[in-house]
Chains A and B, each alone.
Chain A
Amino acid sequence: MVESTVQESRSRDLDKLLLRPGNLVGSNFEPGPGLREDLKEYVRVLVVGAGGLGCELLKDLALSGFRELEVIDMDRIEVTNLNRQFLFRLDDVGKPKAEVAAKRVMQRVSGVNIVPHFCRIEDKELEFYSNFSIIALGLDSIEARSYINSVACSFLEYDADDNPQEETVKPMVDGGTEGFQGHARVIMPGLTPCFECTIWLFPPQVKFPLCTLAETPRTAAHCIEYAHLIKWDEVHSGKAFDPDDPEHMKWVYVEASKRAEFFGIPGVTISLTQGVVKNIIPAIASTNAIISAACALETLKIASGCSKTLSNYLTYNGAEGLHTKVTEFVREKDCLVCGPGVLIELETSVTLQKFIDLLEEHPKLLLSKASIAHRGKNLYMQAPPVLEEMTRSNLSKTLYELMGKIPKDVVHATGTTKKNDKKTSCLRKLRVIFKGVDGITDMETAAGGA
């Protein structure tokens, strides 16, 4: 009976949240021991990234009562990670982060099951992502966030009244840090702003003018970027620079140092070289811990309903004293990624040409000269002439056939529309549904045809 006592004391604090009713709980909160067990059995959380935030997230989630976790990361452990990515040891250098992180947390927290995936996030099928209840992001790149966001939002479906269908909402919890600052946010696609709705929160990257690098360097970073962007190509014609190759990095460091000496500029170091070239932002272990803790708690709140969730964007700044604030951002109504788009019902016999004509007459669109894209395939392009020619033959084909004979899907249309008698160009999301097509059977034909 030792086992049950251990289990009891382990969940004692969690039980205070999960077993008792309250006034500040989420909607549909049903407290009780069943909830605690359901968290273990039904909730599958994917942690994206096994770096500074990812290590913390895995540990926090495991200690918060989640039992089914998976983690995905394409990186291997480097010596410079060890100061804050606390699951890793010196002996682990060179091993995949996801695998070591999963192993360490499982060794430490009994009963938790963590499946590691050592690969790029783009390598996984959409189906892989659809299997998770919640996706927690511990990333440092806008590209990766944007990708996961588009994946999570692709599961979202709207009903005929443009209301999101609850069961298709794939919640994301996103954390990010930069030195003493960080953010934690909850994204409920269709309900709260998605990553693209608020892309402006991320300032564009600062890039030095090339001629400054070539002619008038003033800082150590200028010297490093000169070696990286200009000198490398001059010397290694045709050989691509690989930021993960230590020899390449050392070469850039040596060249940057020579240049800095020539111009009398101090401050070129190997770690600054890595920082500038890989665009690494300084990471502080404690900031990571604070942000991850917030993310793990939000994950627990979403899954259990034991409290209302963060609404919807928390910023933390520990640089001068401590400042933290929650902002409720609003959705971009016409967001191409998470918005409902315009619902269009069509006969399967409608040709692409007819469809383009329909968009011009559609009262909600009035879109003329439309170019049409479906899932990365350009069905018709009005310009440039070379693409118009390549896609022209599609005009006489049916849209149903061009979309792979599936009962419904999203297409995107670019064209011009009149606003207050002024022509403006716009890009619209359209939800096309074909009339009289039985989903399942036609999916089979489509799969067979593909």
Chain B
Amino acid sequence: MIRLLKVKEKQREVAQANGGSSHVKKQTAGELRLHKDISELNLPKPCSIFFPNGKDDLVNFEVSIKPDEGYYRGGKFVFSFQVSTIYPHEAPKVKCKTKVYHPNIDLEGNVCLNILREDWKPVLNINTIVYGLCHLFTEPNYEDPLNHDAAQVLRDNLEQFEINVRRAISGGYVGQTYFSRNQSCN
């Protein structure tokens, strides 16, 4: 290698000539894979996606879900996505930005969805996650509770659960917790 390094002075000159390129952003394999995922997105109907930092920042985005059936119809629920540079080696970080009365989403926005944590695999993609989130609204389940109270009501009293969800969406107290009126009901 020494022989090569001796001509390195020349290499340095080349590097300086290419100086313009040293100021540009470096794209990691993870960002490329994300670019692929995003450009192939095929979102289910009640969903839309939003890029708060413009078209060149794909690692931070928001997905809003407006369920058109089930307990949560008429509501609008916004999720923030944060994708790591080693995606898809690691699942994106997803939080629910809308306060929601839901057995699998706590009041801080943590979401219990298996593919976001223990069952994440690099073959999964952003589309799969969005479908998974939509599924939480059509099929909330009391077996993976993050909101303990909501899970209990869902298990023991479906009618009461439906009343609670409607109340939370249209704004009001469910137990001790206040939910402000969901935007999409206006």
Residues on A facing B (Cβ under 8 Å): 28, 30, 35, 38-39, 42-43, 125-127, 130-131, 133-134, 142-143, 146-147, 150-151, 154, 166-167, 171, 196, 199, 202, 204-211, 214-215, 229-230, 233-234, 237, 302-305, 336-337, 371, 373, 375-378, 381-384, 386-387, 390-391, 404, 406, 409, 412, 414, 425, 427, 439-440, 443, 446-447, 450
Residues on B facing A (Cβ under 8 Å): 1-8, 11-12, 15-33, 35-36, 38-43, 48-51, 54-56, 58, 84-86, 89-91, 104, 106-112, 114, 117-118, 120-122, 144-146, 148
A224 to B30 alpha-carbon distance, docked (Å): 29
A207 CB contacts on chain B under 8 angstroms: 91, 117-118, 120
Shortest CB-to-CB span from B131 to chain A, Å, is: 15
A409 to B22 alpha-carbon distance, docked (Å): 12
A209 to B29 alpha-carbon distance, docked (Å): 27
A to B CB contacts below 8 Å, 21 in the list: A43-B2, A130-B11, A131-B15, A146-B29, A147-B26, A210-B112, A211-B145, A233-B108, A302-B1, A376-B25, A376-B27, A378-B56, A382-B40, A387-B55, A406-B20, A406-B21, A412-B27, A414-B40, A443-B17, A443-B18, A446-B20
A30 CB contacts on chain B under 8 angstroms: 2-3
A302 CB contacts on chain B under 8 angstroms: 1
Shortest CB-to-CB span from A402 to chain B, Å, is: 12
Given contacts A214-B145, A302-B1, 14 further A-B contacts (CB under 8 A): A30-B3, A38-B2, A146-B30, A204-B89, A204-B122, A234-B106, A303-B5, A373-B27, A375-B25, A378-B55, A383-B38, A391-B55, A406-B20, A425-B40
Contacting pair A377 B56 (CB below 8 A): yes
Contacting pair A133 B28 (CB below 8 A): no
Contacting pair A211 B26 (CB below 8 A): no
A404/B27 contact (C-beta < 8 A), A199-B89, A305-B1, A371-B35 known = no
A142 to B4 alpha-carbon distance, docked (Å): 30
A43/B111 contact (C-beta < 8 A), A337-B29, A390-B55, A427-B33 known = no
Shortest CB-to-CB span from A203 to chain B, Å, is: 9
Contacting pair B26 A126 (CB below 8 A): yes
A143/B85 contact (C-beta < 8 A), A233-B110, A383-B39 known = yes
For chain B, what secondary structure do more than half of its interface residues adopt (helix, strand, loop), or is it mixed?
loop
B22 CB contacts on chain A under 8 angstroms: 125-127, 130
A409 CB contacts on chain B under 8 angstroms: 21
Complex: chain A residue closest to B47, CB-CB: A384
Contacting pair A214 B31 (CB below 8 A): no
From B6, B36, B91, contact of A414 by CB (8 A): B36
A211 CB contacts on chain B under 8 angstroms: 104, 112, 144-146
Contacting pair B90 A205 (CB below 8 A): yes
Shortest CB-to-CB span from B47 to chain A, Å, is: 9
A196 to B27 alpha-carbon distance, docked (Å): 13
A425 CB contacts on chain B under 8 angstroms: 36, 40
A450 CB contacts on chain B under 8 angstroms: 20, 23
Contacting pair B50 A386 (CB below 8 A): yes
Shortest CB-to-CB span from A19 to chain B, Å, is: 14
A371/B6 contact (C-beta < 8 A), A202-B89, A209-B117 known = no
A337 to B28 alpha-carbon distance, docked (Å): 8
A181 to B34 alpha-carbon distance, docked (Å): 32
A130/B121 contact (C-beta < 8 A), A43-B5, A383-B40 known = no
Contacting pair A150 B49 (CB below 8 A): no
Complex: chain A residue closest to B25, CB-CB: A376
Contacting pair A130 B29 (CB below 8 A): no
A304 to B33 alpha-carbon distance, docked (Å): 38
B5 CB contacts on chain A under 8 angstroms: 38, 42-43, 133, 303
A439/B17 contact (C-beta < 8 A), A210-B111, A376-B25 known = yes
Contacting pair B20 A381 (CB below 8 A): no
A387/B38 contact (C-beta < 8 A), A125-B23, A211-B104 known = yes
A199 to B29 alpha-carbon distance, docked (Å): 10
A303/B1 contact (C-beta < 8 A), A233-B110, A336-B32, A427-B35 known = yes
Complex: chain B residue closest to A195, CB-CB: B29
Contacting pair A215 B4 (CB below 8 A): no
